[in-house]
Structure 1
Amino acid sequence: MIDVGSLPEFSIPLSDQPWALVVGILLGSVLLSWVLEWGGAYLLNRSTRWSELSISQAFIDEMRIPLHVSIITGGILLSLIVLESLSSTPYLVNFLTSLVIILWMRALVRIGAEWIEVVNAADSDYEFSPVFKNFWTIFLVLITGSVLLVIWEIDITPILASAGVLTIVLGLAAQEAIGNLIGGISLYFDNTYKTGDVIVLEDGRRGAVTDIGIRSTTILTRDDILITIPNSVLNSASVINESAPKHRKRIRVPIAVAYGTDHEEVEAILLDLCEDIPLILESPDPQVMFQEFGDSALLFELWAYVGHPFSEPRATDHINRRVYERFNEAGIDIPFPQREISYLSEDGERMNETLRGEQYEE
């Protein structure tokens, strides 16, 4: 505990009316805490730099409680000195000191997390993975725990003496957790993905990254299903990031038309209908590629860009619907597989029969 007996003696005037002085100290500490809060908020709001950042309000909100408690706690301790009761209340002193430390630790944790979010949201070259929020929290908790052990004079020598054995035991028991932790750090420094990116796993599962934790990464699929994958698995697997280096994605829509169709007319229709689809970006420009001469059709492919990978299914749906309508208006046939079979009849005549569509598939 804090050795209150070693604190210097103070000579407080008006000692013949200690309770009146105590009341004045407590009221003054409360008033001082409100004045400091108001003054700090006023200065931050007048600052052009701070007023433009969302962290400024978070900073004011998180600092309010620790500031009030710290100043009021100082007033209480000063009152105990006036009453000459400081040395007789060591547990109260330790409790108040511990409370202040814990509140400041909590505020710093939240301010650090808010600051990381502000940096990631800004257009800058720096970006922090959400895993750093966990590291920041763990660091502050360890520092706070160490200070509290010193304040309460808790002897940790027996724990340190067995630290070697404890480390081995924890290492064996937490191999997977340590592997996930190292995997998460590796994923961050490799810049594999970040929150909001759309990734595709080796098994074909696809979703947007919603959280990158110490142990695992969480993705949200298009079916609104959360999938949690250990970081060690992702670190050793092949992951496709559809949002890097840019969020836009090129989609490919196959188009088939009957032989004899004017290929320039097909290209003009496809490029024109892209202008009517809001999901398709104007830049880069859509392109129409003549892929090959198929068995039953001329095969084209429309290349266009969408702003987000999750927009691909809707954009493809709009393209297919408009292609069908525009081809019907232009009289362009969309062929289907067909084969002509020749065979001899019972009287030796050659017969021809065309199989098409479902009949051909059977």
Structure 2
Amino acid sequence: MGDLGDLTWQRIVGAAAVMVAAIAIAVVLRLLTGRLFLRAGDTRWAWDDLGARLIRDLAMPLAVLLGLWSAVKVLHPPNGTLDVAAKVLTALTILVISLALARLIAASVSSIALARQGVAANVTIFANITRVVVLGVGILVMLQSVGVSITPLLGALGVGGLAVALALQDTLANLFAGVHVLASKTIEPGDYIKLSSGQEGYVVDINWRNTSIRTLSDNIEVIPNQRFSDTILTNYHRPAQDMSLLIQASVAYESDLEQVESMVIEVGQDVMNEVEGGVKDAEILVRFHTFAESGINFTVILRTGEFGDQFRIKHEFVKRLHRRFQKEGIGIPYPRRQIILPEGSTLSG
């Protein structure tokens, strides 16, 4: 066979055979790790899923990189070329491991946040910050491995970071506000909140810049995180999700208030026990409070499982109470006024 400098056809064919074998091994590992990942997904434990994903992410690229290094060794290039190949393959290996670790650690952070904040959580801010930090460290290590001094780079990043911080004050304010909101547990995904500016809905996600809430009309409103630090916020899921529901009603002056109170409590108990969203065995309170122009006003206090249940509870209670009042002959007063005229006066048509 012909000779290509220090390279012979035998070495080239041997290197090609090594690469083919490495690719075949990589494909087999991909299939095996894919099955392992599916098997781990059948269990309830989340950490085996993360471990299986890490193995799947690393197996194929590391097999290919190991094949490349073996092929280079088979070719036996000059020392200078070998050193360059070693640095490039080392850098690629560090990059692959950094990407896999970033994905693993970000998924771990998300899993921990999910466990702490409930099944409705969909928090991305911690996962994104973790991913950026791990990738940044990996890139610095990769640059160091190829002979690039990172000390001047770190100095330049410090000066550039100051300039970026001044230029992105609002963005950074939203970032730190989002971290503070999550750390202080002021709000969490799944909570129903209302701002003094009027926005209200269920918290869907808190990311590095804004918070998304889903309104009762199924629209998404996006609110900058910084808004939460300078506004009055009502969280209807704190300190607990169940809450009192106040319903206003009125009866005629001729009504027996003891009978009215007894009927209202009975209807309220039925609603609490039979309607979805009611708090079973909750104490139903009736408070008469006003001698109004047309009747006596009172407030009924019920309990609902969470904010969104109040509409169903109120709907059923009003229907049932109206039906019960009609059945028992309890009058619900209409607005009326009594006009007293001097003697001899008449109303002109």
| TM beyond 0.5 | yes
User: 1:153-172 counterparts in 2 under 5 A?
Assistant: 153-154=147-148, 159=153, 162=156, 165-172=159-166
Amino acid at match of 1:67: A
Q: Quick one: which of 113, 126, 133 aligns to 2:106?
A: 113
Q: Distance in 2 between matches of 1:288 and 1:143?
A: 61
Which residue is equivalent to 1:102? Answer: 95
Distance 1:178 1:38, change over 3 A: same
Q: Distance in 2 between matches of 1:17 and 1:107?
A: 36
Which residue is equivalent to 1:64? Answer: 56
* Pair 1:200-2:197 in alignment: no
Q: Quick one: which of 291, 309, 312 aligns to 1:311?
A: 309
- SS across alignment from 1:338: coil
Native 8 Å contact 1:208 1:220 kept in 2: yes
Q: Distance in 1 between matches of 2:238 and 2:124?
A: 18
Q: Distance in 2 between matches of 1:335 and 1:112?
A: 65
Which residue is equivalent to 2:181? Answer: 187
CA RMSD of aligned residues (A): 3.6
* Pair 1:250-2:244 in alignment: yes
Which residue is equivalent to 1:80? Answer: 72
How far off its partner does 1:195 sit?
Answer: 1.3
Which residue is equivalent to 2:291? Answer: 294
How far off its partner does 1:280 sit?
Answer: 1.4
- Show structure 1 runs of 5+ residues with no match: 1-14, 353-362
Native 8 Å contact 1:50 1:56 kept in 2: no
Q: Distance in 2 between matches of 1:265 and 1:145?
A: 72
Native 8 Å contact 2:213 2:222 kept in 1: yes
Q: Distance in 2 between matches of 1:225 and 1:36?
A: 41
How far off its partner does 1:72 sit?
Answer: 2.0
Q: Quick one: which of 155, 169, 172 aligns to 1:175?
A: 169
Which residue is equivalent to 1:275? Answer: 273
How far off its partner does 1:311 sit?
Answer: 2.2
How far off its partner does 1:19 sit?
Answer: 5.2
Native 8 Å contact 2:277 2:313 kept in 1: yes
Amino acid at match of 2:340: S
Q: Distance in 2 between matches of 1:128 and 1:42?
A: 26
User: 1:103-142 counterparts in 2 under 5 A?
Assistant: 103-122=96-115, 130-142=124-136
How far off its partner does 1:310 sit?
Answer: 1.9
Distance 1:45 1:18, change over 3 A: same
C-alpha deviations, 1:4-40, integer Å up to 9, x for none? Answer: xxxxxxxxxxx99645654564455456554698489
How far off its partner does 1:69 sit?
Answer: 0.8
Q: Distance in 2 between matches of 1:45 and 1:244?
A: 39
Native 8 Å contact 2:194 2:235 kept in 1: yes
Distance 1:161 1:31, change over 3 A: closer
Distance 1:277 1:216, change over 3 A: same
- Show structure 2 runs of 5+ residues with no match: 1-7
Which residue is equivalent to 2:5? Answer: none
Q: Distance in 1 between matches of 2:162 and 2:311?
A: 51
How far off its partner does 1:242 sit?
Answer: 1.0
How far off its partner does 1:58 sit?
Answer: 4.9
How far off its partner does 1:257 sit?
Answer: 1.8
TM-score, normalising length: structure 1: 0.77
Native 8 Å contact 1:44 1:56 kept in 2: no
Q: Distance in 2 between matches of 1:111 and 1:168?
A: 30
Distance 1:39 1:313, change over 3 A: closer
TM-score, normalising length: structure 2: 0.79
Native 8 Å contact 2:201 2:216 kept in 1: yes
Native 8 Å contact 2:271 2:278 kept in 1: no
* Pair 1:329-2:324 in alignment: no
Task: Give the number of aligned pairs.
Answer: 331
Which structure has greater helix proportion?
2
How far off its partner does 1:144 sit?
Answer: 2.0
Q: Distance in 1 between matches of 2:206 and 2:53?
A: 26
Moved over 6 A (4+): none
How far off its partner does 1:275 sit?
Answer: 3.1
Native 8 Å contact 1:66 1:104 kept in 2: yes
C-alpha deviations, 1:294-353, integer Å up to 9, x for none? Answer: 313233323222223122223222222222223222222211322212122xxx33779x
Of residues 193-202 and 231-240 in structure 1, the stretch that sits farther from structure 2 once superposed is 231-240
C-alpha deviations, 1:244-301, integer Å up to 9, x for none? Answer: 2322332222222222232223332333344332231215x14132231331323332
How far off its partner does 1:239 sit?
Answer: 1.4
Q: Distance in 2 between matches of 1:254 and 1:291?
A: 10
Q: Quick one: which of 222, 233, 238 aligns to 1:228?
A: 222
